[in-house]
Chain A
Amino acid sequence: MSETCDPVLHADPAARGRALRTVVSRPGADAVKEKGWLRAHKWLLARRLSQLGILALFLAGPWFGLWIVKGNLSSSLTLGVLPLTDVFLIAQSFAAGHLPYKEALIGGGIVLAFYLLVGGRVFCSWVCPVNMVTDAAAWLRRRLGLKGGKVPHAHTRYWLLGFVLAAAAISGTLAWEWVNPVSMFHRGLIFGFGLAWGIVLGIFLYDLFIAGRGWCGHVCPMGAAYGLLGYGALPRVSARGRSRCDDCMDCFAVCPEPQVIRPALKAVGQDHPLILDRNCTTCGRCIDVCSKDVFRITTRFDRSES
């Protein structure tokens, strides 16, 4: 919100509630006014391009006979030479007591190195197709002004990650892959769904009605596994213009992991403006919706402010 609204916000609680609701339901409205629609959606468009582009590479083969990438996100072969394998799956396979062939291990190594460099949760916001589903649910939840529900504890995903690996070890099978909505959705888009639509719809409805940002932010063990690769990520979002922040809360409203913003933006427990939390997905949506140009993507070594 612009500064002119501030007195109203502080004077009348009802008006403040109304104003906050408009903020929460349409974050980024001021940014669109200030920067224009395109610049206020720059990172969002880039992300959708990345997500859909990767999907298109996988679909070009079965749809048009253009075999650039074969397989799916679980394991793929690009141009017949580059293997890529999901590290979460390899971890489960190890737990189940199977040592994959070197193609899968090399593919897993490449993926591991990449996400150690850029941050594991980059997978969630730039690659994973479920992100579009949960983003849509979050958008609709804001627009409908839905509140409440039962949000699971933020640590649920780590417990689930542990139990998933334990289930693989005990059952000797990749138990989670029976229901994993992430691999199921991507595989469904490429190879056919069956009843997997139901699971994807379930996630949408769960995020819409029961827990805002519930799946990606609290439950998904795959995101938790990739999140563990985020300790040393090179590209990071910095709140370098935090002195200009007018507390409009738009960034908190759009952020899929809002808890990561506060330390950097409000200097809580740290004095530099870098968002170093490994659960920041580097989606860049906070940059888009900020009308004051507070945020920018930079490296983890750049602690400058402006």
Chain B
Amino acid sequence: MLTNAIADMSDKQTQHAEEPRTPPRRRFLREAAGVAGGAGLLALGVGLYARQASALPASALRPPGALAEEDFLAACVRCGLCVRDCPYDTLELAELGDGIATGTPYFNARRIPCEMCEDIPCVVACPTGALDRGLTDIGNARMGLAVLIDQETCLNYLGLRCDVCYRVCPVIDKAITLELFHNPRSDRHAMFLPTVHSDHCTGCGKCEQACVLPGEAAIKVLPIALAKGSTAEHYRKGWEERAAHGRSLIGDQVELPVRGMEGQAYGDTRLRQGSAPQPGADEPAPYAPGGLDSGWKP
């Protein structure tokens, strides 16, 4: 018994001693699985992080000529040569924690907008094509799209003549126009509403930087994807069809007279002196919004 036990023990010992010497193939597979698993997890984490964080924050604009964000992130090597060649220190490289792909160039329009250099030095400097050299006319740049985002604080919407965003626009009267509207609040003044046109706005951000409001601007340059709705391709605009074909596609419409507006062109709904119903002769009509009028004044 005793000798048996000793033999057993020694057997176990030899077994134990030889345990680390598992067959090389099995050891290799086990090691490879461990290593690959660890490295794979790390890479997966990085990949998910990159994917989750690859949406550009609305306040960050890419330099002119930047490829679409997905392609840009494949092309930009984060070298900062565009930053170095920007004469106005507009561009900067994102730092870890900025919420923008680390090391990629962007600018904040409210801080320093793009001055739209004619020779576009940032695009020339890019060695990888993340900034596309197909862009030779800075007027064709589409860094973003200006949007008059807050009509409650914009001074022009309050009926004042600020006009600063319109005045500073490098594509004045094309990218931003002042549209004349009746001011229903005073009922005797005009409002000149700054209106952005996407076919000319380069997204340089001069308007956002110049907006006179303290702190946040009422007009902001947003990424185009955020600022533009999709075109309703299925919807045919009657006035365009008529211009193209010389007549309405569905034949002429029956024009019914509008009572009280006889003698005015079809569609002209302006009130003429004396045509409106007169309130009581001596007392002014009390202000009483009601019916369909919600009381909102632009």
Instruction: Say whether A and B bind each other.
Output: yes
Residues in chain A within 8 A of chain B (CB atoms): 61, 67, 70-72, 74-77, 83, 85-86, 89-90, 93, 96-101, 103-104, 107, 152-153, 155-156, 159-160, 162-164, 166-168, 170-179, 183-184, 187-188, 190-196, 198-199
Q: Which residue of A lies closest to B42 (CB)?
A: A160
Interchain nearest-CB distance for B46 vs A (Å): 5
- Residues of chain A lying within 8 A (CB to CB) of residue B39: 156, 159-160, 162-163
Question: Chain B residues near A173 (CB, 8 Å)?
Answer: 50-51, 54, 70, 73-74, 101
Contact residue among B53, B75, B96 (Cβ-Cβ distance under 8 Å from A93): B75
Which residues of B from 227 to 278 have beta carbons under 8 Å from A? none
- Output the least CB separation between A133 and chain B (Å): 16
A159 interface neighbour in B35, B51, B76, B127, Cβ under 8 Å: B35
* Given known contacts A86-B77, A101-B127, A160-B39, A175 and B46 CB-to-CB distance under 8 angstroms: yes
Contact B81 A77 (CB under 8 A): yes
Instruction: Tell me, rounded to whole Å, the shortest Cβ–Cβ distance linking B261 to chain A.
Output: 60
Does A85 lie within 8 Å of B127, measured CB to CB? Answer: yes
Find the A residue at minimum CB distance from B40.
A163
Q: Is B43 an interface residue (CB 8 A)?
A: yes
Chain B interface extent, by class:
35 or more
Residues of A within 8 A of B36 (CB): 159
- A159–B32 Cα distance when bound, in Å, is 9
Which B positions have Cβ atoms within 8 angstroms of A? 31-32, 34-36, 38-40, 42-44, 46-47, 49-51, 53-54, 70-71, 73-81, 83-85, 92-98, 101-103, 125-129, 133
Interface of B (DSSP majority class): helix
Q: Which residues of A contact B78 (CB under 8 A)?
A: 72, 74, 174, 177, 183, 187
Q: In the complex, A261 Cα to B48 Cα: how many Å?
A: 39
Q: List 27 A-B contacts (CB under 8 A).
A: A71-B79, A74-B78, A77-B81, A85-B127, A96-B74, A98-B71, A98-B75, A99-B129, A101-B128, A103-B127, A104-B77, A159-B39, A163-B44, A173-B50, A173-B70, A174-B78, A175-B43, A177-B78, A177-B102, A178-B46, A178-B53, A178-B102, A179-B49, A191-B93, A194-B97, A195-B97, A196-B95
What residues of chain A lie closer than 8 Å to B53, measured between beta carbons? 178
Residues of A within 8 A of B31 (CB): 153, 155
Known pairs A98-B128, A152-B38, A153-B31; A184 contacts B96 (CB<8 A): yes
Residue of A nearest to B83 (CB): A191
